[in-house]
Structure 1
């Protein structure tokens, strides 16, 4: 197993989301690894938790990364959050991302959960993806 692909995978996901025009039209540049302090935009994207397990095989070391990308909004209803979540899914599903270390073998959507947070004042959609990374 190798955890070495975690940072490169996160950077490639961030870059792909940041470069996407349709997602940018919805959230602007509000795509964060660490949410900044202070006032936040009405809608933003946060790179979230990750779990990793060994996926080594006969070709070498590798890992399966399951990671979450969240859309958070204080806008009423789920419509804007669902539009942003859909754009994220479009960018990442079967994406051919180039990593600074290792190689992305596959990237696929697994599931999503939409819920109200902050006593109903905000909405959050958590999208979970699975990425198979082979270490070089």
Structure 2
């Protein structure tokens, strides 16, 4: 399988995040495809890098999408960023969003890395999820 479902996977992830009441209570509508220009919100989420590799099997064509998300807090301390990261994990881990051109076989949390930003102010948490998709037969 190719990268044919890349946009559908991104749209599905974005939809799951923006529909999650817990995450929205924490970050409002501040879930972006890229970091917002100019003044940034105090806590927000961005869709990050994605790598994809073929992952077909005897059942047909498939792909493994490794999707990164970033939680950014402009304040010192990890509490707010960790709350948002936890909400993302709950919203995504095990979810089975609908795709028009295929199906999600699995969506699993893979890892998280929490870091201080330069100068000590602000925090980031990078989350990675592995999403196995199959093409419609």
Class of the TM-score when normalised by the shorter of the 2 chains: over 0.9
Q: What's the TM-score, normalizing by structure 1?
A: 0.96
Q: What's the TM-score, normalizing by structure 2?
A: 0.95
Return the offset for 1:96.
1.4
Structure 2 Cα separation of the partners of residues 31 and 13 of structure 1? 11
Matched, 1:135 2:135: yes
Structure 2 Cα separation of the partners of residues 49 and 7 of structure 1? 13
Choose 33-42 or 3-12, whichever is displaced more: 33-42
* Preserved contact between residue 52 and residue 63 of structure 1 (Cα < 8 Å): yes
SS of 2:98's equivalent?
coil
Deviations 1:45-101 (A, max 9, x none): 000001111101122211001111110011220000000000000000000111122
SS of 1:91's equivalent?
helix
Q: Which residue of 2 aligns with 1:70?
A: 70
* Preserved contact between residue 76 and residue 120 of structure 2 (Cα < 8 Å): no
Structure 2 Cα separation of the partners of residues 53 and 70 of structure 1? 22
Q: Tell me, which stretches of 5 or more residues in structure 2 are unaligned? A: none
Structure 2 Cα separation of the partners of residues 77 and 85 of structure 1? 14
Q: Which residue of 1 aligns with 2:55?
A: 55
SS of 1:57's equivalent?
coil
Alignment of 1:1-136 (within 5 A): 1-136=1-136
Structure 1 Cα separation of the partners of residues 85 and 53 of structure 2? 25
- Number of aligned residues: 136
Return the offset for 1:36.
2.4
